[in-house]
Structure 1
Amino acid sequence: MTGSTLARRSLGRRLRKLRAAAKLSQSAAARAVELSPQSIGRLEDGQSTRVSGLHINALCNLYGVSDEERRLLLELGQEAREATKSGGSWWRAYADLSPDGFEHYYSLEEAARRFTSFQITMVPGLLQTADYRRAGEWTMHPQDSTPDVERRVEMAVRRQERLQDREFEVDLYLSQAVLNHQVGGPSVMERQCYHLITIGELANVSVRVIPHSVGSHMGLHVGAFVLLEFDTLPAGGSIEPPVVYVEGFTGDLYLERDTEIDPYRHALEHIRRVALSQDESKALIGRIAREYRA
């Protein structure tokens, strides 16, 4: 689904700029091409929507685009449709148990070339053991049935298959507090610590810890976030801009503007400076794992 996700984002971003240049509202554009305002909004946001090449052509006519721009927009639309047809998204099998918006995040993560995460309290889902995830699921969904919880755990484990892709780069920065919170109890945390050590030995994965001894640092003030970076698109050859994802209890944020992303890049520079090296982090994680065993 990589091509589908990135092509939709690029198509939507270009169409939004063209509509703004034409000084038209989403409602006006929707009426002109016989679509709903919601469909125009989803299209411009890079979300999956049933918009055909005829609709894109109609929007091009409305906005008065050049022949070259029309060709590129139609190619992006075709690329998105072909990628969608070529294979289903594995996570859709779990849609009934997932929160609203889950498909958008997973499709972005699946399309990303680089995943950079800073976490303050929890190990991110991409690197959780099944037992760690299970403990969290029971905390968040105590009313659910055991089969439903196990399906969520299965989904989390399957998501981690992406780590075996050597072209998918993962940089994880953890506050030491993440390792000290006893999610699931000492034995679960011991296994989680050793899992982080094992995953951190992959050539495409880096796990670094910010120890308590650092004191106040930028990450504590910024909070947890994920920076997703992407490759070039076949259509047009442009590089998709990055996305900062901030997960919230009642809603998530997707930040795409340079003015929104630059502060997070600046925070990452500070976090990298205060984080232990990979070898030092491995030693600290190993020491904490042994303490859990004791």
Structure 2
Amino acid sequence: MPPGSTLPRRALGRQLRKLRERNGFTATAASRIAETSPQTYGRLEDGRITKVTDMLLNTLANAYKATDTERRLLLALAQEIRTSSTNGGGWWRAYADSLATNFDHYLSLEEAANWVTSWQTTLVPGLLQTREYRRAITWATSPDTPSKEVDRMLDMAAKRQSILDREGFRFEALLAEGVLHYQVGNPEIMAAQIQTLLEKCEQAEIRFVPFRAKNPCGLIASPFVLFSFPPLLTSKLQEPPVAYVEGLAGDLYLERRTEVSMYSQEAEKIRHVALSRSASKNLMLRALKEWQA
């Protein structure tokens, strides 16, 4: 396999599959539009190595009635593939363009995954946040955002949470106890958020690392998310996992086996010091009473 990241190829494949299915095309019909074999087109959607040209993507974008934003995303990913193949590096992407605003790549990974593990030390993960908790974070980090834009973001966040009800999807939230005590918004917002966490225990595995854990595993590591995926649809090959680390200057997506392994091992250490699910519920109940006092 030539050097370079597989992430942009995989992201491109997911975008093409989404557009194709939205317009009711079969993969065979799409291969005819692309003037290639069904096997080659299948490799394209699976994110496996195949030649990708802007002409090919524009042809497919026309057939799929892609919006200007969707077309730009396809072409940007193709450019990322070429750049990554040339420099052989991992995929650093500080999202300063539309990808940043829409959080598209992260959401595509989340949508494709069948198991997501999130380690957070200060905030509740997005999939478990209440609307008002998310609103308080948005106002705190982006106070100049227009109210209508904030509401649009909150609507998108609520829609995103429906993935918790998807059959076969597993969400594991490993959280430091501080998440229950750092005030976001006001006490009423915190109480409602903790109550929601208690309710979400039916849809997600929520476990806390207490302040008095014997080993402060995880506190050394920054918050991170691990994405694990089912086999690819066309080739049935196992899609490798991805680690995501959010940074102030940009987001880091890691896919090299050695790098992802470090985060997988860290997650396993955190699991060993985290409370059981029942003990975590008791911890949340105590915190809820404190916020309601």
Confirm or deny a common fold (TM above 0.5).
yes
Summarize the alignment of residues 182-221 of structure 1 with structure 2, pairs less than 5 Å apart.
Answer: 182-202=183-203, 205-214=204-213, 216-221=215-220
Partner of residue 164, structure 2: 163
Matched position secondary structure for 1:158: helix
Q: Per-residue displacement from partner, 1:37-91 (whole Å, max 9, x unpaired)?
A: xxxx89954343999969x999xxxxxxxxxxx9744322267899xx89999xx
RMSD: 3.6
The 8 Å contact of residues 194 and 289 in structure 1, kept in 2 or not, is answered as yes
Q: 1:74 aligns with which of 37, 41, 50?
A: 41
Higher helix content, 1 or 2: 1
Residue-pair matches, total: 241
Partner of residue 226, structure 1: 225
Summarize the alignment of residues 68-217 of structure 1 with structure 2, pairs less than 5 Å apart.
Answer: 72-77=39-44, 99-100=100-101, 102-202=103-203, 205-214=204-213, 216-217=215-216
Matched position secondary structure for 2:219: helix
**Mapped partners of 1:169, 1:175: distance in 2:** 20
**Mapped partners of 2:196, 2:253: distance in 1:** 29
In structure 2, the CA distance between the partners of 1:43 and 1:139, relative to structure 1 (3 Å rule), is: closer
What is the letter of the counterpart of residue 10 of structure 2?
Answer: G
The 8 Å contact of residues 97 and 152 in structure 1, kept in 2 or not, is answered as no
The 8 Å contact of residues 246 and 252 in structure 1, kept in 2 or not, is answered as yes
**Mapped partners of 1:260, 1:78: distance in 2:** 25
| Structure 1: tracts of 5 or more residues without a match | 1-16, 21-25, 27-40, 59-69
What is the letter of the counterpart of residue 193 of structure 1?
Answer: I
* TM-score calculated relative to the size of structure 1: 0.72
Q: For residue 160 of structure 1, report the CA deviation from its aligned partner.
A: 0.3
Partner of residue 239, structure 1: 238
Q: Per-residue displacement from partner, 1:144-178 (whole Å, max 9, x unpaired)?
A: 11111111111111110111113110111000011
User: Percent identity at matched positions?
Assistant: 37
**Mapped partners of 1:87, 1:290: distance in 2:** 53
**Mapped partners of 2:216, 2:164: distance in 1:** 29
The 8 Å contact of residues 114 and 229 in structure 2, kept in 1 or not, is answered as yes
**Mapped partners of 2:223, 2:11: distance in 1:** 24
**Mapped partners of 2:198, 2:242: distance in 1:** 27
* TM-score calculated relative to the size of structure 2: 0.72
Summarize the alignment of residues 15-54 of structure 1 with structure 2, pairs less than 5 Å apart.
Answer: 17-18=1-2, 45-48=9-12
What is the letter of the counterpart of residue 235 of structure 1?
Answer: T
**Mapped partners of 1:112, 1:160: distance in 2:** 14
Q: For residue 141 of structure 1, report the CA deviation from its aligned partner.
A: 1.2
